[in-house]
Amino acid sequence: MGHKEINSGDNESWLQPYIDSPEKQKQLYKKTLIIVIMSQIFGGAGLAAGITVGALLAQEMLGTDSVTGVPTALFTLGSAGAALLVGRLSQRYGRRFGLSAGFLTGGIGAIGVIISALMSSIVLLFISLFIYGAGSATNLQARYAGTDLAKSNQRAKAVSMAMVSTTFGAVAGPNLVEVMGDFSKFLGIPALAGPFILAAAAYILAGLVLLFYLRPDPLLVTKAISNLKNKAGNRQSEQSIELLPKNKRGIFAGASVMILTQFVMTAIMTMTPIHMGHHGHDLQAVGLVIGFHVGAMYFPSLITGSLVDRVGRAFMAVTSAITLLASGALAAFGPADSMTVLIGALVLLGLGWNFGLISGTAILVDSTSFDNRAKTQGTVDVWIALSGALGGGISGLIVANSSYAILSIAGALLSLLLIPIIIWADINKQQKLEEAS
DSSP assignment letter at 245: G
Sign of the Cα pseudo-torsion (399, 402, 407, 408, in order)? positive
- DSSP result, 303-353: HHHHHHHHH-HHHHHHHHHHHHHHHHHHHHHS-TT-HHHHHHHHHHHHHHH
Report the alpha-carbon distance of residue 200 to residue 107 in Å, rounded: 4
CA atoms within 13 A on the CB side of 413: 7
30-63 pLDDT, tens digit each = 999 999 999 988 988 887 666 667 766 777 787 7
d(CA 265, CA 355): 12
Q: Which distant-in-sequence residues (6+ apart) come within 8 Å of 187 by Cβ? A: none
Which pLDDT score, from 0 to 100, does residue 344 have? Answer: 96
Q: What does the pLDDT read at residue 9?
A: 42
Average pLDDT score over the chain: 84
pLDDT band at 414 (very low <50, low <70, confident <90, very high): very high
pLDDT tier, 239 (very low <50, low <70, confident <90, very high otherwise): very low
pLDDT beyond 70 at 89:
yes
Q: Say how far apart CA 165 and CA 170 lie, in whole Å.
A: 9
Residue 265 scores a pLDDT above 90 = yes
pLDDT value for 245? 47
Q: Which residues contact 344 (CB under 8 A, 6 or more apart)?
A: 330, 334
81: number of Cβ within 10 Å: 17
* Per-residue pLDDT tens over the stretch 343-372: 999 999 999 999 999 999 999 998 988 778
The confidence score (pLDDT) of residue 299 equals 84
245 versus 169: the higher-pLDDT residue is 169
Interval 390-405 mean pLDDT:
86
DSSP 146: T
Q: Is the dihedral of CA 7, 11, 17, 23 positive or negative?
A: positive
Evaluate the CA torsion angle 360, 227, 18, 102 in order and state its sign.
negative
pTM: 0.79
**Which domains are seen in the chain, by residue range?**
3-232 (1.20.1250.20), 241-436 (1.20.1250.20)
Q: Are 363 and 349 in contact (CB under 8 A)?
A: no
pLDDT in tens, 303-320: 999 999 999 999 999 999
d(C-alpha 342, C-alpha 77), whole Å: 30
Task: Give the integer Cα–Cα distance in Å for 306 and 357.
Answer: 14
Q: How far apart are CA 240 and CA 161, in angstroms?
A: 27
Burial status of residue 123 (CB atoms within 10 A of its CB: 0-12, 13-18, 19 or more): exposed
Report whether pLDDT(10) > 50.
no
pLDDT digits (tens, 9 = 90+) for 139-155: 888 888 888 888 888 88
Burial class of residue 117 in the structure, from the number of CB atoms within 10 Å of its CB (0-12 exposed, 13-18 middle, 19+ buried): buried
Task: Label residue 325 by pLDDT band (50, 70, 90).
Answer: very high
Q: Which pLDDT score is estimated for 230? A: 65
